[in-house]
A and B are shown apart, each in its own frame.
Chain A
């Protein structure tokens, strides 16, 4: 089976004058298959967000390649890249910050559809459908980000990500800033979307909570100081960690 996302030798070195170079991500490589949910876990500063920013091309990679659905997007820019974004969307960590405070949620969700040339009326209908699918009501389209709660904002954020029917959904700590009950709801929503779409949707799930990864992901990568120190099925890793860092991580939860 062709992987939906294939990352090879991905490296990012941050250079600063007067300071030694800092390698945030060090030659990592992994594959994500259709319908799979891959967890990426690690402590803060382990390079999770850098990896995600490079995959979404918001940050240039120093070395390595990113292949999305058979297309090398590592050097893409402008129009080409915007086309690639139709296959890849992202849900961000902080719900309140993920919508423009001066635009309504509907504007934010419909922006990608409008960019695809959809008419205003069609967009409105589609936004209503997406909101309903994500457990909100169509009225939310007219609200501003500060008028809704964190959980509602995160649902709208998922609706926005699903608008272009992406093959890859990246959740960058999408549940970390929510409280546990809301967290559970969002995970339930993501699970539902996974069952509905089957092989049409793959998820890259960035998280620092190993328990959450265990119940949600098929496979997990453990990132430590910019390297992948361990990978495999979550249950196995938890039962039988090989790397010293993974052991510490699991001990800290138990």
Chain B
């Protein structure tokens, strides 16, 4: 496979890769680095790409593994960051300025979801992934995905109203 074929094959996934990496790891520079690493790995293994049936899920798995490895190196563990977000975290000048921009406020709340819920929420709402596909990618039980998705959806809404009603 030459570089033109490779580009044609993979470039359509770049935004998706970046968004997914961003939901797994912050700050943004680290997410960019993850995507760059995955691209290099894929380029180095380009000969075997032909044999892969579901390229998107292969790429997204690579993004996940690379991001989680990086988190590990940073001394952070994705699974352990579970747990409810303290509503007081939103009592910041940053939140006050976003109050008038509903979409920005929602973005901020989603960003502060616990990592697993955030990834599930974003894969469903932004990438339109089926529950089974999310379960496979994140190596979780489909029911677990549904429960976490439900919690995340409710939590974003509740937090949104709490902030808007000045309960924080």
Judge: A and B partners, yes or no: no
Which residues from chain B sit less than 8 Å from chain A, CB to CB?
none
